[in-house]
């Protein structure tokens, strides 16, 4: 823990309301969603409503800097609300106790004791979980997958996160690292992934993958990429998945085609998951889902085309997540009140 980070324990009641026993409090919680590019935080009530929200850029790859950002966000939100607990949804693998980030492919966490560090700094109970688990929990509790007994959630952002809920329980596997669907190898020998392997699913069906393919198209000076280049004033490196998604929503044919390709990879990966897990429903969320049906329609086609036993078995429906980019922080906050079993 860095000595430069000031704990919140020393704050007075003039700085923020007094924190009381959670059983006697309004039972509000702060949820924090830590991704590869942003840290989002919000005050969440027991119905999953976000009462206040803040965002910061993820401060590089320094664990201490990330902790300092969390302390800043909790301090600011806690000035107006009496907070019982804090839930952290972080991109990475957690141990089963929810105390240590074993590994994060997009952040510099390696066996990082994040929960104990943050509890010392925040002076509140802290629950730590994978960000995709948090988003899936929120969709099961309050969103598109409400009440589904076998639910698989896919989160499309910088990479691909995933989670499965079985009878109201997050399935985390024997060692706590289940649900890393984005790192199934879908193209042997393909693009290098930050996890160290080649050909991972997230290298073909994620925001990063969409941006990479668009930049390659622009560098090739393809005539179909002219609208994309105009949108970024000719700066190829400024082309991201978010830029392409917005252009596709505006009707740009090249951007629509790029998203269609990503949707095909998405559907293929979900067909593989259906063969292994046989869920009752898929819910797809994350920033890339701003494309809506432009993404899901080709995903459904590819899913149906690659589903094992197609035509002779039920096919799980594929739905768009209902809670949008807030799902991770809503789920993290709610899990801090209802720790995983």
List, for residues 265-302, the tens digit of each pLDDT value. 999 999 999 999 999 999 999 889 999 999 999 999 99
- pTM more than 0.75: yes
Q: Which of helix, strand or coil describes residue 89?
A: strand
pLDDT surpasses 80 at 341 = no
Which is more confidently placed, 20 or 79?
A: 79
Q: Which two tokens stand for residue 198?
A: 């080649």
pLDDT score recorded for residue 263: 98
The residue among 24 and 180 whose pLDDT is bigger is 180
Mean pLDDT of 120-136: 91
Same fold, 8-137+326-337 and 147-321: yes
Question: How is the beta sheet containing 169-170 ordered, strand by strand?
Answer: 169-170, 160-166, 150-156, 281-285, 318-320
Nearest to 69, CA basis, from 14, 104, 114:
114
Which residues, at least 6 apart from 182, have a Cβ–Cβ distance to it below 8 Å? Answer: 159, 160, 161, 162, 200, 201, 202, 206
pLDDT in tens, 217-250: 999 989 999 999 999 999 999 999 999 999 999 9
33-37, 134-138, 260-264, 308-312: least confidently modelled range: 33-37
Strand partners, 57: 38
Annotated domain spans of the chain: 8-137+326-337, 147-321
Asked whether the beta carbons of 163 and 321 are under 8 A apart, the reply is: no
Q: How far is CA 323 from the centre of its chain?
A: 12
For the domain made up of 147-321, the CATH class stated in words is alpha beta
Higher pLDDT pick, 104 / 330: 330
Question: What would the CATH number be for the domain defined by 8-137+326-337?
Answer: 3.30.420.40
Tens of pLDDT, residue by residue over 302-317, are 999 999 999 999 999 9
Give the pLDDT score at 7: 64
At 22, the pLDDT band (50, 70, 90 cuts) reads very low
Check pLDDT > 80 for residue 26.
no
Give the DSSP letter string of 91-119: SSEE-TTS--EEE-SSS--EEE-HHHHHH
The CA-CA-CA angle for residues 206, 301, 157, to 5°, reads 15
Q: Which pLDDT score is estimated for 14? A: 40
Q: Which two tokens stand for residue 27?
A: 């039972």
pLDDT score of 27 more than 90: no
pLDDT for the residue numbered 37: 76
Q: Model confidence over 316-338: pLDDT tens digits?
A: 999 999 998 899 999 999 999 87
């Amino acid at each position: 823990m860095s000595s430069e980070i000031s704990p919140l324990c020393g704050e007075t009641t003039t700085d923020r309301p007094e924190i009381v026993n959670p059983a006697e409090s309004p039972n509000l919680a702060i949820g924090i969603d830590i991704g590869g590019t942003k840290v989002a935080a919000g005050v969440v009530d027991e119905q999953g409503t976000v009462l206040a929200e803040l965002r910061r850029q993820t401060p590089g790859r320094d664990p201490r800097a990330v902790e300092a950002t969390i302390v800043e966000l909790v301090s600011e939100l806690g000035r107006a609300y009496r907070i019982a607990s804090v839930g952290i949804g972080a991109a990475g693998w957690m141990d089963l106790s929810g105390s240590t980030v074993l590994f994060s492919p997009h952040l510099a966490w390696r066996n990082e004791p994040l929960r104990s560090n943050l509890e010392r700094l925040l002076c509140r109970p802290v629950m730590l979980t994978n960000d995709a688990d948090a988003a899936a929990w929120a969709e099961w509790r309050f969103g598109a997958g409400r009440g589904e007994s076998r639910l698989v959630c896919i989160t499309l952002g910088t990479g691909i996160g995933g989670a499965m809920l079985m009878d109201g329980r997050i399935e985390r596997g024997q060692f706590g690292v289940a649900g890393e669907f984005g790192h199934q190898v879908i193209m042997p020998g393909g693009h290098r992934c930050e996890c160290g392997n080649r050909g991972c699913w997230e290298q073909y069906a994620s925001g990063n993958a969409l941006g990479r393919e668009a930049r390659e198209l622009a560098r090739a000076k393809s005539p179909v990429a002219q609208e994309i280049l105009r949108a970024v004033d000719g700066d190829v490196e400024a082309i991201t998945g978010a830029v392409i998604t917005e252009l596709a929503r505006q009707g740009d044919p090249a951007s629509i085609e790029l998203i269609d390709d990503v949707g095909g990879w998405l559907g293929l990966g979900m067909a593989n998951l259906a063969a292994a897990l046989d869920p009752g429903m898929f819910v797809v969320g994350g920033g890339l889902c701003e494309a809506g049906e432009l993404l899901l329609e080709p995903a459904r086609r590819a899913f149906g085309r690659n589903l094992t036993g197609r035509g002779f078995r039920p096919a799980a429906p594929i739905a768009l997540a209902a809670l949008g980019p807030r799902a991770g922080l809503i789920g993290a906050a709610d899990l801090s009140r209802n720790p995983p079993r």
